[in-house]
Amino acid sequence: MSAILQLKGVTRRYSGLVAVSDVSFDIEQGSITALIGPNGAGKTTTFGMIAGAISPSAGSIHYEGVRIDGVAPERLCAMGIARTFQIVRPLQGMSVIDNVMIGALNRTSNLKIARSNALDLLDRVGLGTKAFEMASNLTLPDRKLLETAKALATGPKLLMLDEVMAGLRPAEADRVMDVLSAVRAEGVTILLIEHVMRVVMAIAQHVIVLNHGELIARGTPSAIVTHPRVIESYLGTKAIHP
Partner 1 sequence: MSRQWWAALVFVAALALLPLGASDYLLSALTLVFIAALVGIAWNLMMGFAGQLSLGHALYFGVGAYTVAILAERYGVTPWIGMGIAFAAGAAIALLIGALGFRFAVRGVYFALLTIAFAEFGRIVFEHWSFVGGTGGFYLKALSATNVPLISLRGGARFNYYALLVTLTFAWWLSVAVVRSAIGYRWRAIRDDEDAARALGVPAFRLKLLAVALSGGLTAIAGGWSGLIGGSLFPDSVLGMRLSIDFIVAPIVGGIGTLFGPILGAFIVVPLNEWSRELAQAAGINGLNLLIYGVLLMAVIIVAPQGGWPWIARRLGLVERVPCRPGEQARNGVAIAASDSTTGDTHGQTSGRTQGQTPSRAQGQTSDRATQ
Ligand X SMILES: Nc1ncnc2c1ncn2[C@@H]1O[C@H](COP(=O)(O)OP(=O)(O)OP(=O)(O)O)[C@@H](O)[C@H]1O
Closest CA to 27 of 155, 159, 150, 223: 159
Residue 73 lies near ligand X (rule: CB under 6 A): no
Closest CA to 187 of 12, 83, 31, 21: 31
Residue 117 lies near Mg ion (rule: CB under 5 A): no
Q: Do the strands 158-162 and 81-83 form a parallel or antiparallel pair, or are they unpaired?
A: parallel
Q: Which of 77, 149, 173, 204 binds partner 1 (CB under 8 A)?
A: 77
Q: Select from 15-23, 56-64, 124-132, 200-208 the region that touches partner 1 (CB under 8 A).
A: 124-132
Query: Packing angle between helix 170-185 and helix 140-153, nearest 10 degrees?
Result: 10
CA distance 123 to 114: 14
- The string over 44-56, giving b where at least 16 C-beta atoms fall within 10 Å of a residue's C-beta and e elsewhere, is bbbbbbbbbebeb
- Cα angle for residues 4, 6, 7 (degrees, 5° grid): 150
Beta bridge partners of 147: none
Q: Select from 12-20, 95-103, 110-118, 132-140 the region that touches ligand X (CB under 6 A).
A: 12-20
Q: Which of residues 38-67 bind partner 1 (CB under 8 A)?
A: 51, 53
Residue 181 lies near partner 1 (rule: CB under 8 A): no
Residue 84 lies near Mg ion (rule: CB under 5 A): no
Residue 126 lies near partner 1 (rule: CB under 8 A): no
Residue 148 lies near Mg ion (rule: CB under 5 A): no
Binding site for Mg ion (CB under 5 A): 43-44, 86
Binding site for partner 1 (CB under 8 A): 51, 53, 72-74, 77-78, 82-83, 85, 89-98, 101-103, 105-106, 109, 111, 114-116, 119, 129, 131-134, 136-137, 150-151, 153-154
